[in-house]
Chains A and B, each alone.
Chain A
Amino acid sequence: MDILTQPWHWAFSGIMIVFVMFLLLYFGKRFGVSSSFKAICSMAGGKKTCDYFDYDWKSHSWLLMFVIGSIVGGFLAANFMASPNPVAISQATIQDLQELGISSPQGNELVPLDLFSFDKLMSLPGIIIFILGGFLIGFGTRYAGGCTSGHAISGLANLQLPSLVAVVGFFIGGLIATHLLLPIIMSL
């Protein structure tokens, strides 16, 4: 069963994402994951602090179920469907990461383990990447009104101009972080 143990071809992956989007549309919902952050903030008591969180978060309870499901899906994939081989990124990327002092895939890990550790969290690069990086994800997605699923996939597929503008923004930020900021952060 190669489909279980081998990584999927990008074309098949794209088709499967559309299938997920279809199911959500058919069930009367939208494909957009970052709204879950707003729902969790509201649920955690944000209602009283400002009107942005003062909405019926239970209208997003389906999304919270989806989120729990995606955690379970990640668990199942890691434990029963993991590829035995390293992520096959290009040689050029391996070299670029090497120059930054970041290890390339060794076993079947999906993230660089020397960076994604609680030891690193206490260092300046760790604080910037995990704490500031996470903050920017939450702040930026709600400011832009969507993330990769809501804008780059659902929005573009529905020919929404605001989504195209947002995706241009995603890449402005992404290219700056990759080419200008990451070399500085890794040298700290």
Chain B
Amino acid sequence: MKNIKFLLVGVLFGIVMSKSEAISWFRMQEMFRFQSIHMYGIIGVAVILGAIMIKLMKGSSMKTTENALPDFAEKPKTYTASILGGSIFGLGWALTGACPGPLYVLLGQGYWIVLVIIFSALVGTFAYGILRNKLPH
């Protein structure tokens, strides 16, 4: 069961998301109304510190536990998909107050209605898979 470690990282993620209040619908409303530094601080620190970390990791010859180079995720240059898909996700993010990670954490917190959001998100994913070839990317 080499996947057990990902279960543990997930537990840590769930606790971090909860204690940071980044799973709170209230905090998302506050963010989209520019009324607090809270969410911008979290994302800002994560991006800046993450950029420094990735730079250092690229500079060193650090290998993963799989004995390979880390996968830093080069994103495909499909800018039309980025802006259109991003805007569509943004609508859902603000309405539900949650992005995919927090949805799972909220479920664990005991907010059962979130099951409806997750199921709808799976339907949305399915719809994208079907329509993908007809959409501009």
- The residues of A with any CB-CB pair to B shorter than 8 Å are 3, 7-8, 10-11, 13-30, 32-34, 36-38, 40-41, 44, 46, 49-50, 52-53, 61-63, 65-78, 81, 87, 89-90, 92-93, 96-97, 104-105, 110-112, 115-118, 121, 128-163, 165-179, 181-182, 185
Contacts and interface: CB of A to CB of B under 8 A. Distances in A.
A168 B3 CA distance: 34
B120 A87 contact: no
Interface residues of B, number: 114
B85 to A, nearest CB: 3
Main secondary structure of the interface of A (DSSP, over half): helix
A111 B9 contact: no
Contact of B93 (A38, A135, A173): A173
B38 to A, nearest CB: 5
In this complex, the member of A38, A93, A138, A147 whose beta carbon has the largest number of chain B beta carbons within 10 angstroms is A138
Contact of B10 (A65, A146, A153): A65
Contacts, number: 509
Contacts of B30: 89-90, 93
Given A110-B106, A131-B120, A148 B101 contact: yes
SS class, residues of chain B in contact with chain A: helix
A153 B43 contact: yes
Contacts of B76: 145, 162
Contacts of A32: 73
Given A8-B20, A16-B20, A61-B3, A136 B73 contact: no
A23 B19 contact: no
A157 B86 contact: no
A146 B76 CA distance: 11
A167 to B, nearest CB: 7
A153 to B, nearest CB: 5
A115 B24 CA distance: 13
Contacts of A92: 33, 35
Given A137-B124, A150-B73, A130 B113 contact: yes
Contacts of A130: 96, 113, 116-117, 120
Contact of A74 (B57, B99, B104, B123): B104
